Chain A
């Protein structure tokens, strides 16, 4: 049997709105992926430790709090520190266009802003994970 793509879906920081994360989790599941859903209010450390233990192919975080410029680079830094530099790192949520170049410089490979069809996110993950 072909190995399914494993994706961690989580929400870093202090923000209780998980509808987007849940929609994505379900869409990825329906695309045949194994989704490790870690839930709300995660620290960068919790997300990265979970990603390492679960040996995921992709970390996908949803962030709506406005703290993306702090939290996302931190997740990237910790992923590298823990030996997970080959894990695909993507984010979604309310992130202003102006911040996207900065985040891409800090290891976020794709940013899916509101209105992105789930099929786009799914295809991106399928095409970019290291198998």
Chain B
């Protein structure tokens, strides 16, 4: 199979390639080998925020804005996997049904599949595939719980933080610890009472951070009413231009590929170690407290 010839039009092939890389199934290394030099064109936007903030609706509306600019849009929508059964209900498409049949859009849902970070292990791989086959913009929508907000930085060029009025006072915003990673903030459902108050609170919180350079804008929007969307697109574009001008985009991507390399190395290393003949014995000795974890690790490392 020559993956280099797969184009944006070939949805069936793209779907299959994403499955292969997501599952690290046979052939996934070949896909990377053939496609990696074609990646780097797409701009990757991460969307995160608390459950019910309107991330899916906003993703839908943003995607529509991008396709009206003649851009090809890839969407990766991540929902949680049950740690008990391994099953999941991926329901983000409900808000994106109009885009389902649009040839300029490719939507893929993913379960977190037990990844602690809340982002699917396959997310980064799926981004690479969509990038290589010609996406101009890739939107990753994550579950806004646990550590996913922090994980998403590893995969995105800009982070859009979605908030809603009425989730609590400014102390909640501090607690969440999410202020540091947002590049653009949106107060969605801006028709609800308290939207402006939330905006001012978020702005006040951000002003304490005294970050040099980029000051994250805080915007009001309503995804379902299609209000304020143009401003969000513009703010994301400004952030991209700012990063390019300052040479920050290169730095960010370098950091991201470093993360990717670490993950691949980790995976390889763990698999290799678990296959060692001595592994079961070391595990048994460790359980029986005959050796400590550091001695165990040392013994295994010596075998590699």
Determine whether the beta carbon of B89 is less than 8 Å from that of A50.
Answer: no
B15, A55: Cβ atoms under 8 Å? yes
Q: Is the CB of A36 within 8 A of B85?
A: no
Residues of chain A within 8 A (CB-CB) of B87 are 4, 28-35
CA distance A124 to B97 in the complex (A): 28
Is residue A13 within 8 Å, beta carbon to beta carbon, of the partner chain?
no
Stretch of B59-67, B99-107, B213-221, B279-287 that contacts chain A: B99-107
| Chain A contact patch, size range | 20 to 34
Main secondary structure of the interface of A (DSSP, over half): mixed
- Residues A34 and B90 in contact in the complex (CB < 8 Å), given A29-B85, A50-B100: yes
- Residues 18-36 of chain B: 1 if any A CB is under 8 Å from the residue's CB, otherwise 0? 1100010100000000000
Interface mask (B111-154 → A, CB under 8 Å = 1, otherwise 0): 10110000000000000000000000000000000000000000
Chain B residue nearest in CB terms to A2? B86
Closest B residue to A46 using CB positions: B100
CA distance A86 to B8 in the complex (A): 22
Cross-chain contact B82 with A29 (CB below 8 angstroms): yes
* Bound form: Cα–Cα A36–B16 in Å: 16
**Interchain nearest-CB distance for B26 vs A (Å):** 12
In the complex, chain B residues whose CB is within 8 Å of the CB of A35? 87-90
The answer to whether B113 touches A50 (Cβ under 8 A) is: no
Interchain CA distance A78-B87 in the complex, whole Å: 28
Name the A residues within 8 Å of B107 (CB-CB): 50, 53-54
A50/B85 in contact, CB under 8 A = no
B253 at the interface (CB under 8 A from A): no
Binding site for A on B (CB under 8 A): 11-12, 14-16, 18-19, 23, 25, 81-82, 85-91, 93-94, 97, 100-101, 106-109, 111, 113-114
**Interface positions of A (Cβ within 8 A of B):** 1, 3-4, 25-26, 28-39, 42-43, 45-46, 49-50, 52-55, 82-84
Closest 8 CB pairs of A and B: A55-B15, A29-B87, A39-B94, A83-B12, A46-B100, A32-B86, A55-B19, A3-B23
